[in-house]
Amino acid sequence: MIGILLAALSLQIGYCGPIKDIDAAKAAGFDYFELRTSEVEALSDANYNALAFKLKQIAMPTPVAYWFVPAEIKLTGPNINEAQQIRYLEHAIDRMSHLGVHTIVFGSSGARNFPEGFPKQQAFRQLVDFGKRTGPIARKYGVTIAIEAQRREESNIINTTQEALDWVDAVNDPNIQLMIDYYHFETEKEDPAVIAEVKNHLRHIHMANPENRVMPLHWKEHNYGPFFDALRVIGYHGTIGLEASSKDLQHDGPLTLNLLRNALTP
């Protein structure tokens, strides 16, 4: 019983969104707010300081962030600019770390997608090189970067959890790990058995009902069971971010929180 209670306490469920949604997420009862890294990086110093003050004032933690690299900073293709990448990484990760972020999701399909006609293997090597440049910077600020496999409709590279693991292994840096987004996972029809294979690298989960990428509200609306069974087997009780739309967050938030907490209770 004590173990179950501790596991429930360690599980944190957050809401992913723009800065303007922080108050709504707090009112809906989420444990934390998942900021957009590129949005925070682009703030003026005055607005960044105002954001930091607000988060402290309302006691809203921000342990995880997403939207890592903006589309205008290319990571693959013939026109990458390593110096530009490093300048962005230093500024962005520094800012996020001072807000309490310890994990940043690396989806960023606009930045990582390679142009038509460009060799995919070369693009993958470029992403590996980017990971090798990113790891030491992330480590300096106490942050882990977690690669996100994305559905083929959004990204033309790293579409499955195994491919995400291949990238993590190729980068070979302790501050470069992976996460799983259930929406992409289900769209790509992945086998939940892969979760056991990546358990030592899994740092975060994104969640949504795959039907229209909305908030998950009821257990029977989708076959969530196999995914959460696999998470329970590895003892996952980390962070789960809701990257999902809602027309009424104050109504949907408590239902989602209840669903997810029960889903990971043994």
Indicate the pTM of the whole model: 0.96
pLDDT digits (tens, 9 = 90+) for 23-45: 999 999 999 999 999 999 999 99
CATH of residue 219's domain is 3.20.20.150
For residue 4, is it within any domain?
Answer: no
Structural domain includes residue 135: yes
Nearest of 90, 69, 246 to residue 148 by alpha carbon = 69
Q: Which two tokens stand for residue 106?
A: 């690396």
* Residue 3 within a domain: no
Q: How many C-beta atoms surround the C-beta of residue 198 within 10 A?
A: 18
Q: Give the residue among 92, 121, 113, 105 at the shortest CA–CA distance from 64.
A: 105
Q: Is residue 1 part of a domain?
A: no
Per-residue CA distances from 257 to 31, 92, 101, 199 (Å) = 9, 30, 21, 23
> How many domains in the chain?
1
Structural domain for 141, as ranges: 10-263
Digit-coded pLDDT (tens) for 35-92:
999 999 999 999 999 999 999 999 999 999 999 999 999 999 999 999 999 999 999 9
Return the pLDDT at 1.
Answer: 37
